[in-house]
Structure 1
Amino acid sequence: MRAVDVIMKKRDGGELSRDEIAAIVNGYVSGEVPEYQVSAWLMAVFFRGMSFRETADLTDLMLRSGAIMDLSGITGPFVDKHSTGGVGDKVSLILAPIVAACGIRVPMMSGRALGHTGGTLDKLESIPGYTTRLDEKRFREYIQRDGFAMTGQTDAIVPADKKLYSLRDVTATVESVPLITASILSKKVAEGSEALVFDVKSGPGAFMKTVEDAERLASSLVRTGQAMGKRIVGVITDMTEPLGDKVGNFLEVEESIDCLKGRGPADLMEVTYRLSAWMLVAGGVAKDVAAAARMCEEAVSSGKAYDLFERNVRTQGGDVEKMLSLYGTYRSKHVRELKAPVSGYIRSIDAFKIGLAGVYLGVGRNKTSDPVAPDVGFVFERKKGARVQKGDLVATVYGKDAASLDAAWELVSGALSVGPDAPESASLILKEITAL
């Protein structure tokens, strides 16, 4: 089968067979199909789309391009959570120990910051000594012992996704629901989870800018995941503003500690508890979301979730004592204050602009090879709905050097909107789609 014939068929709007999709995916992984032909195929898919059956076949073929995690011999249930990415999104650090404290095993494979969105691995690695490079033996051992483990994607897991994702990033074919669905699900199913909860973010700071686009992706993830025999929940959450009061690698570790000690900000805890509750329901340890939420709150108030967090830090090589000694002090010396330009109410703080500014500061990266800084970011003293007087401190901003603050400042100051009227408050949980 010639790759060019598969490209032509999709270019003309045809529905590809499993064998035709396999010719592209397997051929690219093996090196038989060159990058320029795969690029053309990706663009054809971008414009012509894929049917549900094509999307399911693509996901399965990508999954089978590499190893699948073997969690046999460990008592389940196994449930994981995936976020489509946002600003200040440290939910995984808080959620994993909460859910593990309630009896769910969480095999969490996470990613790094790219563009304006943060990365769980970068946050964890800001903890002195913490390693996210786990082989399968240690990953299994830590899940068995602590209830959860945090690792990055290995070369053996879904190699097709690694190659395709890199190519999509440089061929302007990232924003395709079938391609996103296959990329996310192939990795998550490879972890060995029985159920998955997806946090599909919507708004300026999200990958999907509108609720309608977020719903299309959530529906695709739920339907395709269900076809692969998994229990799936898609939760659409608002990413208009940064989540929580801190944005930055170690800064978000600090805020995660606050949350696990029962003093987290309301917006962050709303999202964390809702996603955690759905994981308990999907895993069969709670009959409904209300009962599950009470279990999650008890895991925090009893101290069990925080104890598991500390245990995981030690297990994965982190220095708990040093981490705690750095709390509140691990800050770059290059600092600037964002103040209210006028009196009134904070109408919004644009998550996208804050995320982009974070790249200049050293929070994130433009290329996967770029380094990130652990001690930079934002500490928000006031957020949406707060009444301010002209000159009131809104945020303290830390950069890797003075030049980074200068480069970021137009975005930082442009992210803040202050007006005469208080904005309406609303839930960050926008919609939920389930297949349990």
Structure 2
Amino acid sequence: MTSTKAVERVLGAVHAKRKGETLGDETLAAVLEDYLGGRIADYQMAALLATVACTGLTRTETVALTRAYVHSGSTLDLSALGRRVVDKHSTGGVGDKVSLFVVPVVAACGVPVAKLTGQGLGFMGGTTDKLSSISGLRMDLGTEEVIDVLNRTGMVISGQSDDLVPGDLATYALRDVTGTVDSLPLIAASIMSKKIAAGTQGVVLDVKYGPGGVVGSEQEATELATLMLRIAQEVGLPARAVLSDMQQPLGYAVGNSLELVEALNALQGKWVPRYTELCVTIAQLMLQLGRPELDAVAAAAEVSEAITSGRALATFRTWVEAQGGDTAQIDDPSKLPSAPHVATVRAASDGWITGIEARTIGTAATQLGAGRFTYEQQIDHGAGLLLGRQVGDRVRTGDVLAELYGTVDDVDAIVATLGAAFRIEDHEPDLKPVVTAILGGKRAVEAPVDGGPAENPAPSNPSPWW
């Protein structure tokens, strides 16, 4: 039941922000508590969120909102492990399967990784959906189970529990239906509150920008990364941020089990252009946060050894078993869910691929059944598509650009749309690196990280599928 005092408080906050005033810590915490307690209505909280989306928040307000989210529920205490536990977060993108690679790699290097994640919505898949392709794998661990699996395997990936930052869960659901998802302060507070509440002692933030991500431009990505790093600094959380370009999908696979297979291939040491480079960079940074005595060269060497020795893949398999998953599907990925092949997209002319519209690719995968347009929608874990080429590849008329898998009524329309998503021209494009900057620490540095895997050059036409 709504409360007169609570309604006055939230409307007062709305009027204050409209006049350019700063909201205090107590006001933000009280309004959030009122909303969770049912003392103000959805439309009143939506009014405040919309006002914030238009006027912004100061750094002080953003930190205060982050703390209010954290204190709205329980927190995890991972100090009993006796080692620094790290995490990574991605703002999301088409084909983003980075967690499937970096978490077991870093864990195999002796740094525990605890990751709480969620399902996807729209053109970007979620880590939970990709991992749920594994039969029996539990993604709903309780707090004690999270700590137990982390102790036993060195890594844990689980869905976010309802009692962890419930204030963020409630307001995010409201933001999703009120057009306020893309507010940078709200994004920053949402992301960082979960990292702080999860009890990790170091985090690498993968901020993706471009048509295949949530953030449109590199400038916006820099602003968001800087804001999150400032929040981390305010609460004493060691953090780094990677800016990654999402002008095209990441890797070749887009779809849940398809992406899992690609990640397993990479864990076996198979080079996947752009994807492997980004993963190795993030893994190295996570390792340095967990073991600050390592310099970039030493960290890169350990990451490389964890992959080539097979320890990273073995760590992933052990973790799958610990959370009830079918390890036979890891040993033989052909046992993972699959969907029927429904169409092939081919090049209409000779030339160089100078662009691939990532959002169009992601939307097509969703239409094939790999994603959802509402949170209640069921997905087909085997659906999706496999790209035959990436930007910079030379093609001839008739070459395979994409293979489509799923169940769909009007596949011809999807094929026509996908054909237009590949821009083919008569000149070789200037290629932009997938990692464009690394922020945090003593200074911003150019990417890739020194000591990266220069000894693993990509093949000239490197599709692992055809």
TM interval, shorter chain, is over 0.9
1:426 Cα deviation after fit: 2.8
1:349 aligns with 2:356: yes
1:377-433 deviations in Å (ceiling 9; x for gaps): 1112221111111111121111223x1534533432221111101112232111111
Contact persistence 2:257–2:336 (CA under 8 A): no
Which of 169, 172, 178 is the matching residue for 1:162? 169
Confirm or deny: 8 A CA contact 2:347 2:419 kept in the other structure: no
Distance in 2 separating the partners of 1:297 and 1:126: 27
The whole-number CA distance in structure 1 between the counterparts of 2:34 and 2:239 is 30
Q: Distance in 2 between matches of 1:135 and 1:193?
A: 16
Q: Is residue 413 from structure 1 mapped to residue 427 from structure 2 by the alignment?
A: no
Q: 1:151 aligns with which of 148, 158, 179?
A: 158
1:422 to 414, 425, 428: 428
Distance (Å, rounded) in 1 between the aligned partners of 2:374 and 2:296: 39
**Residues 87 and 351 of structure 1 are in contact (CA less than 8 Å); yes or no, is this contact kept in structure 2?**
yes
Residue type of the alignment partner of 1:167: L
The answer for the alignment partner of 2:23 in structure 1 is 16
Whichever residue aligns with residue 20 of structure 1, its letter is: T
Local SS of the residue matching 2:105: helix
Cα separation, 2, equivalents of 1:130 and 1:328: 14
1:115-126 aligned at under 5 Å gives the runs: 115-126=122-133
Cross-structure match for 1:206: 213
- Paired with 2:363 and 2:333, the residues of 1 have a C-alpha distance of 26
Cα offset for 1:22? Answer: 1.6
Code of the aligned partner of 1:416 = F
CA contact (8 A) 1:88 1:242 kept: yes
Which string of whole-angstrom CA distances, capped at 9 and with x for unpartnered residues, describes residues 306-344 of structure 1? 100111111111111144444288532242101001111
Give distance in 1, aligned partners of 2:324 and 2:337: 19
Q: Deviations over 1:155-213 (max 9, x none)?
A: 11010011100111111111111100110011111110011100000111011110000
Write the distance in 2 (CA, Å) between the matches of 1:334 and 1:306.
28
Distance in 2, matches of 1:414 and 1:329, equals 31
Correspondence for 1:174: 181
Normalization by structure 2: what TM-score? 0.91
**Counterparts of 1:397 and 1:260 in 2: how far apart (Å)?**
24
> For residues 323 and 272 of structure 1, what CA distance do their matches in structure 2 show?
20
Show the 5 A alignment for 1:19-418.
19-327=26-334, 330-401=337-408, 403=409, 405-418=411-424
Dislocated runs of 4+, deviation >6 Å = none
CA RMSD of aligned residues (A): 1.5
More displaced stretch, 276-285 vs 93-102: 276-285
1:218–1:81 Cα change, 3 Å: same
In structure 1, give the amino acid aligned to 2:195. Answer: K
Report the equivalent of 2:12: 5
Answer with 334-343 or 205-214: which moved more: 334-343
Letter in 2 for 1:284: R
Deviation of 1:286 (Å)? 4.7
Residue identity matched to 2:207: V
Distance between the aligned counterparts of 1:174 and 1:341, measured in 2?
Answer: 38
- Residues 247-297 of structure 1 show CA distances to partners (whole Å, capped at 9, x for unaligned) of 110011111110110003121110000001111111225533332122111
User: Any idea what SS the aligned residue of 2:251 has?
Assistant: coil
| Alpha-carbon distance in structure 1 between the residues aligned to 2:415 and 2:352 | 21
Distance 1:252 1:86, change over 3 A: same
| 8 Å CA contact 2:369, 2:380 repeated in 1 | yes
Report the Cα distance in structure 2 between the residues aligned to 1:80 and 1:41, rounded to whole angstroms: 31
CA–CA distance in structure 2, aligned partners of residues 191 and 21 of structure 1: 21
Contact 1:223-1:435 at 8 Å conserved across structures: no
Unaligned runs of 5+ in 2: 443-466
Cα deviation, residue 27, structure 1: 0.8
Residues in 2 aligned to 1:348 and 1:327: alpha-carbon distance in whole angstroms: 31
Q: 1:329 to 1:220 in 2, by over 3 A?
A: closer
SS at match of 1:266: coil
CA distance in 1, matches of 2:99, 2:228: 19
Aligned CA distance change for structure 1 residues 202 and 78 (closer, same or farther; 3 Å): same
Paired with 1:414 and 1:27, the residues of 2 have a C-alpha distance of 49
Judging changes above 3 Å, is the alpha-carbon distance between structure 1 residues 272 and 190 closer, same or farther for their aligned structure 2 residues? same
% identity of equivalent residues: 37
Q: Secondary structure of 1:73's partner? A: helix
- The runs of 5 or more residues in structure 1 that have no matched partner are none
Aligned mates of 2:37, 2:178 — CA distance in 1: 21
Deviations 1:105-145 (A, max 9, x none): 11100111111111100000001111111111111011011
Q: Which amino acid aligns with 1:379?
A: L
Alpha-carbon distance in structure 1 between the residues aligned to 2:120 and 2:412: 22
Partner SS, residue 431 of structure 1: strand
Q: CA shift at 1:19, angstroms?
A: 1.5
CA drift of 1:18 comes to 0.9
Q: Distance in 1 between matches of 2:335 and 2:213?
A: 28
Q: Which moved more, 1:389-398 or 1:80-89?
A: 389-398
Distance 1:404 1:140 in 2: 46
Question: Quick one: distance in 1 between partners of 2:321 and 2:179?
Answer: 41
* TM-score of the pair, normalised by structure 1: 0.97
